[in-house]
């Protein structure tokens, strides 16, 4: 199977494989595991940028890529959320918000596919995904190195604020996706 995959699809698949590895590293207990986890998450995040760029540049957009790219994104970020909740750096409500939004958007995508309609990712979705990746790496850097004492805030406080900003972006992108879908999907069928 791997021989038949193009490079963008291999990058997508690597993100799916890396997600549980990242989670295991985050929850492990060895020196500098947050730093290692941050590097692994950062590399996995870069695959998301490169798989799409390469697929468009070399006209290698495939059904596998269309289906698995969002799966890889979701697996990686949910692994991060699970780890952050486990180490008490994120409210469990964030996971509920993210999963709910993802179920709604995935359901809309399935209806759209059934009607031969493609709903492109909007700016809110792209901003949400970029912030997920940047904020998560930033939190892991803070977990590894701490925050300056003059900052006045703990890593936990900063982490929770960043995650609630992501929750807002998640809801906003979901609402935008729902609005866009109403323009192109026939919900009477």
- pLDDT tens for 164-189 read 999 999 999 999 999 988 888 888 87
The CATH fold assigned to 2-183 is 1.20.120
> Residue 15 CB: number of other CB atoms within 10 A?
24
The model's pLDDT over 32-55, given as tens digits with 9 standing for 90+, comes to 999 999 999 999 999 988 998 999
Residue 53 CB contacts under 8 Å (≥ 6 apart), including other chains: none
Distance in angstroms (rounded) separating the CA atoms of residues 18 and 6: 18
Q: Please report the pLDDT score of residue 34 as a whole number.
A: 97
Residue 120 CB contacts under 8 Å (≥ 6 apart), including other chains: none
Contact criterion met (CB below 8 Å) for 33 and 26? yes
The whole-number average pLDDT for the span 105-124 is 83
Contact criterion met (CB below 8 Å) for 147 and 153? yes
| Dihedral over Cα of 65, 69, 75, 76: its sign | positive
Distance in angstroms (rounded) separating the CA atoms of residues 146 and 160: 15
Q: Please report the pLDDT score of residue 2 as a whole number.
A: 64
Q: Please report the pLDDT score of residue 43 as a whole number.
A: 96
What confidence category does residue 125 fall into, taking pLDDT thresholds of 50, 70 and 90?
Answer: confident
The model's pLDDT over 23-32, given as tens digits with 9 standing for 90+, comes to 999 999 999 9
CA angle 19, 178, 59 (to 5 degrees): 55
Distance in angstroms (rounded) separating the CA atoms of residues 126 and 81: 18
What confidence category does residue 83 fall into, taking pLDDT thresholds of 50, 70 and 90?
Answer: very high
């Amino acid at each position: 199977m791997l021989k038949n995959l193009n490079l963008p699809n291999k990058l997508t698949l690597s993100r799916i494989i890396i997600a549980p590895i990242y989670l295991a590293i985050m929850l492990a207990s060895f020196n500098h595991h947050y730093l290692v986890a941050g590097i692994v998450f950062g590399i996995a995040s870069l695959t998301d940028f490169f798989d799409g760029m390469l697929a468009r540049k070399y006209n290698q957009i495939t059904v596998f890529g269309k289906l698995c790219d969002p799966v890889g994104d979701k697996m990686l970020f949910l692994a991060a959320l699970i780890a952050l909740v486990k180490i008490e750096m994120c409210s469990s409500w964030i996971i509920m918000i993210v999963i709910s939004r993802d179920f709604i958007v995935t359901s809309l995508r399935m209806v759209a596919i059934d009607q031969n309609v493609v709903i492109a990712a909007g700016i809110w979705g792209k901003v949400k995904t970029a912030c997920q990746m940047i904020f998560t790496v930033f939190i892991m850097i803070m977990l590894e190195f701490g925050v300056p004492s003059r900052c006045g805030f703990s890593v936990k406080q900063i982490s929770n604020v960043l995650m609630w900003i992501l929750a807002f972006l998640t809801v906003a992108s979901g609402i935008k996706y729902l609005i866009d879908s109403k323009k192109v999907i026939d919900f009477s069928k």
